[in-house]
Amino acid sequence: MKKSSDILDAVHESAKALHAVGVMPETTMNEFDALCLSPMNEYSADEIKALRRRLRVSQPVFAVYLAV
């Protein structure tokens, strides 16, 4: 299960407030909810390394894929 983030919680609260006053449309709020509330998978270092090797990419390239 995804661990909660103080920043993500604050941004989600702001989005809910924007939706409540009519600035954010329902469809955007639904998409935002899905992004913020859906569980994220957690992977061990060994699992990430295996995935990177299976994809045959270097660490820097893999980091670009993840936008980190």
Tell me, what's the pLDDT at 46? Answer: 92
Q: What is the DSSP letter of 64?
A: H
Residue 63 has pLDDT above 70, yes or no: yes
H-helix or E-strand spanning residue 17: helix 6-20
Q: What is the mean pLDDT of residues 2-11?
A: 68
Tell me, what's the pLDDT at 20? Answer: 92
- Domain definitions of the chain by residue range: 1-37, 42-68
pTM of the model: 0.45
Scanning the structure block, which residue is given the tokens 């702001």?
14
